[in-house]
Amino acid sequence: MLKYTGSIYKWGYQIKELEERHEWFKLDLDPTQTRTQSSLAAKYPSDSALPPSYDVPYEKLIIDFLTALRQNAEYVLSQKLPSVVLRTTPREWVITIPAMWSDSAKAKTRACAEKAGMGSGTRLHVISEPEAAAVYALHAMDPHNIKVGDTFVVCDAGGGTVDLISYTVTALKPILQIKEAAAGSGSLCGSTFLNRIFAKLLRDRFRNDPNWDEEILADAIEVFDTKIKRSFAGDRSEDFFTVPIPGISKNSALGVERAGKLRLLNREVRAIFDPVVNEVISLVKAQIKGTKRDVRAVLMVGGFGQNAYLKERITVSISRNIEVIQTINSWTAVVRGALMKGLEEVAPTLADVRVTSRCARKHYGIEIRTTYNADIHNGNTKKWDGFKGTYLVLAMSWLIQKGDDVKENEPTTFSYYNVQTVSQGPPKTVYATIKCCEDPYNVGAPIHADTGVRNLVKLTADLSKIPCLSFKQKQGLDGKMWYVVEWEVKMTCYSAETRYSLVYGGVEYDTVTAEYV
């Protein structure tokens, strides 16, 4: 959250309840994950949120927020560590992002973090939120209760979003190794919506009372947020809760049994919880189904993940063979897991939980010109090639299929070749476009690029560091001399980002610029 007053801004808990503020602006990084995708967000919008992009671009909001976060972290460190240690110790930053974000949104997040002063390159680590939560949740479990083949669903239920991801244990020694069992999922159905539903209940009930105002509402929300919401346990809770509403006269019909005191019945609190809890249950069920395995347990993390009523409802809604476990240190599980992941990248020997592979969310490939075959190709794009002396046709070469296990230590290589007449001089720059296909109905990737295939990223590779004498020259069937440049793009998929490099003649060059579409 951010609130601007001229060029000065407040952030986070510096902003009072119901003050106008910019909130949830990180979601603007990914237009594909809009607020309208959540029925709760549509039904219970924020009353204090300024409209998206109102007077401040979302990139500035994100950069300012991350800058404030960085400055606060540096201040805390300055109070805890000697100045000589701070001056001589290099810093590495780890930020987490939702599982559902597009590749473009991930790249934008990194760019904003770099502009916020969080370093660049290997000094800045971008990690999936549910993956970070899973690493810590499994780390916190008793290792004697984990077996190879066990599958766990991790439910990270926080304030704004609920993210889920699943992992199967592949090895126990020398360290615990896991692989994704199903692609991550999530939605805007966090505990913030409990506050919004509660606020709507109070506004509807007391809007005609002349003493009712937003200050009373703000105080009531604080009590609900810090006490009732955290302790509510369904039938195991007391019959009613008391909420202070100073200035409101006694009115039994409205639940005000004593002046200034609202009696909120257990069933009324349940009615506040149920729309949100039902959304979470639907996500958990879908994630369990997506694993296509026998799930051992659902691991609950996040602040909302510790609520007793949420746990109870999930438990009775899924198979009795699946345990629901609330992880210790749940509130900070994502932060702790992110730190563990960051340390693993710096010093792999420190890892005690390692993700060995992740599920491809979509098909990835390139469009190539290949020899025309009338039996399998559409001839609309066939074109005579003077160098090869044959008809070539545009077709897709899919190198990663949706659902494939993608490993960090096994990059995917896309092979290209460019031809250019020698009279034009040696090539200085080459271009490539990696395409993707969501394939929502799982019918398989098409042979030719159709409406379901879109450009994912445009790559520009600089060849200026490669000696031009190394480029092969061949005579084409047209009698002309041609430069033939055979090169590769190496794509390495990490927790929440993808890196590209150019490979030529067996040498890897870090000279690829990626522009997400």
Distance CA 106, CA 126 (A): 8
Beta strands 390-400 and 93-97 are: unpaired
Q: How do beta strands 405-406 and 353-359 pair?
A: antiparallel
Match 């699946």 to its residue by tokens.
322
pLDDT (0 to 100) of residue 486: 85
Residue 157 lies in a domain: no
Within a domain: residue 474? Answer: yes
SS3 53: coil
Q: What's 428's domain CATH number? A: 2.60.34
Reference 194, options 303, 44, 39, 34; nearest CA is: 44
Rounded CA separation 91/78 (Å): 13
Strand partners, 502: 489, 509
Distance CA 307, CA 303 (A): 8
Query: What's the whole-model pTM score?
Result: 0.85
Q: Convert 452-517 into a string of H (helix), E (strand) and C (coil).
A: CEEEEEEEEEECCCCCHHHCEEEECCCCCEEEEEEEEEEEEECCCCEEEEEEECCEEECCEEEEEC
Domain boundary among 78, 103, 127: 127
- Give the whole-angstrom CA distance, residue 254 versus residue 250: 9
Examine residue 482 and state whether it is found in any structural domain, yes or no.
yes
Do 228 and 220 meet the contact criterion of CB atoms below 8 Å apart? no
Rounded CA gap, 142 and 196, in Å?
Answer: 38
In a domain, 316, yes or no: no
What does the DSSP assignment read for 174-238? SSEEEEEEEEEEEES-STHHHHHHHHHHHHHHHTT-TT--HHHHHHHHHHIIIIIHHH--GGGS-
Boundary residue ending a domain (71, 96, 127): 127
Instruction: Report the run of H or E that residue 426 belongs to, with start and end.
Output: none
Q: Considering 103, 127, 151, which residue would you say is the last residue of a domain? A: 127
Q: What domain range is 468 assigned to?
A: 360-516
pLDDT tens, position by position, for the chain (517 residues)?
A: 788 777 788 888 788 777 777 777 777 787 766 544 678 888 888 766 555 555 678 888 899 999 999 999 999 999 999 989 888 888 889 999 887 788 888 889 999 999 999 987 668 989 988 899 999 999 999 888 899 999 999 999 998 889 999 999 999 988 999 999 998 888 889 999 999 999 999 999 999 999 999 899 989 999 999 999 999 999 888 889 999 999 999 999 999 989 999 999 999 999 999 999 999 999 999 999 999 999 999 999 999 999 999 999 999 999 999 999 999 999 999 999 999 998 888 888 888 899 999 999 899 999 888 888 888 888 888 888 877 788 888 899 999 999 999 988 788 998 887 888 888 888 888 888 999 999 988 899 998 989 999 999 998 888 887 877 788 888 888 888 888 888 888 888 888 888 888 888 888 877 677 877 6
Classify residue 257: in a domain, yes or no: no
How far apart are alpha carbons 155 and 165 in whole angstroms?
7
Instruction: With respect to residue 418, please indicate whether it lies within any of the assigned structural domains.
Output: yes
Q: Would you list the DSSP string of 302-351?
A: SSGGG-HHHHHHHHHHS-TTSEEEE-TTGGGHHHHHHHHHHHHHH-GGG-
- 175, 351 Cβ separation under 8 angstroms: yes
Separation CA 268–CA 240 (nearest Å): 9
283: tokens are 């996500």
Q: How far apart are CA 79 and CA 69, in angstroms?
A: 16
CB 128 within 8 A of CB 165: yes
Single-letter residue type at 476: G
Q: Which two tokens stand for residue 187?
A: 């939605």
Our count of domains for the chain comes to: 2
264 in any annotated domain? no
- In a 3-state reduction of DSSP, which class is residue 389? coil
Closest CA to 180 of 497, 508, 495, 425: 495
Residue 211: Cβ within 10 Å count: 12
- Asked if 463 and 431 touch (Cβ cutoff 8 Å), the reply is no
In a domain, 231, yes or no: no
Rounded Cα distance, 480 and 475, in Å: 6
